[in-house]
């Protein structure tokens, strides 16, 4: 942004900060910056404050590694949920999706990523060690690997499955198949293949 006149340091600085966010380039950052400048001062104040407050108050749950304001998150400290079954997900947002479905009453474990050597993500950067510690406590009976059905998600699931199989815990993978409400006519071959392969008897 060297083309900006020298009296716009605060704007230049704001654009530089905004463009560090994922998926936001210099054009979008500029658009967002001008939008912020056009709003009442309250808007900028409360947006800036929310960013700082969220980062300062939220930290990793000591059990499941999800973000929480307490030492242990409400899901982990909920006595009505089973301690024996743990659903392993890539990101905190995946927990929200499972919770919306209301079909899971166990606990979670957030990996905070997947194994992806091209993006510089190896197994040491994921929260796998904490998962192994939780398994060593002996309460967990089943681990459901709910990483995404991508090459990286499948690789990560396989890696974890091999790592924890020796501990005697049951390891499962969420089913791949036809999504509810989809039309078979329009589904891709890979999904149909999985749906045939994993057919269940009635």
- Interface residues with its own copies (CB under 8 A) are 3-11, 13-14, 16-18, 20-23, 28, 30-39, 41, 43-58, 67-70, 73-75, 91-93, 96, 99-100, 112
Q: How far is the CB of 44 from its own copies (least distance, A)?
A: 3
Q: How far apart are CA 142 and CA 81, in angstroms?
A: 14
Angle between helices 41-57 and 26-38 (to 10 degrees): 120
The counts of H helices and E strands in the chain are 7, 6
In b/e form, how buried is each residue of 43-64, taking b as 16+ CB within 10 angstroms?
Answer: eeeeeeeeeeeeeeeeebbebb
Least distance to its own copies from the beta carbon of 106, Å?
15
| Closer by beta carbon to its own copies, 55 or else 103 | 55
In angstroms, the CA 65 to CA 92 distance is 9
Residue whose CB is less far from its own copies, 36 or 195:
36
Q: Which is nearer to its own copies, 92 or 164 (CB)?
A: 92
Least Å from the CB of residue 142 to its own copies: 23
Nearer to its own copies, 36 or 158 (CB): 36
């Amino acid at each position: 942004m060297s083309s900006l006149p020298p009296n716009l340091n605060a704007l230049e600085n704001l654009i530089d900060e905004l463009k560090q966010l994922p998926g936001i380039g210099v054009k979008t950052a500029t658009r967002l910056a001008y939008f912020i400048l056009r709003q009442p001062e309250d808007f900028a104040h409360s947006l800036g404050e929310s960013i700082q407050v969220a980062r300062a108050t939220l930290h990793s749950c000591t059990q499941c590694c999800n973000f929480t304001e307490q030492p242990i998150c409400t899901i982990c400290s909920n006595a009505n949920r089973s301690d024996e079954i743990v659903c392993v997900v890539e990101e905190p947002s995946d927990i929200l999706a499972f919770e919306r479905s209301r079909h899971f009453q166990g606990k979670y474990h957030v990996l905070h990523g997947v194994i992806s050597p091209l993006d510089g993500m190896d197994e040491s950067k994921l929260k796998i060690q904490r998962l192994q510690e939780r398994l060593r406590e002996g309460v967990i009976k089943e681990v459901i690997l709910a990483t995404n059905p991508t090459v990286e998600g499948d690789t990560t699931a396989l890696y974890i499955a091999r790592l924890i199989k020796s501990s005697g815990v049951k390891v499962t993978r969420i089913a791949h198949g036809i999504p509810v409400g989809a039309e078979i006519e329009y589904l891709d071959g890979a999904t149909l293949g999985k749906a045939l392969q994993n057919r269940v008897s009635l």
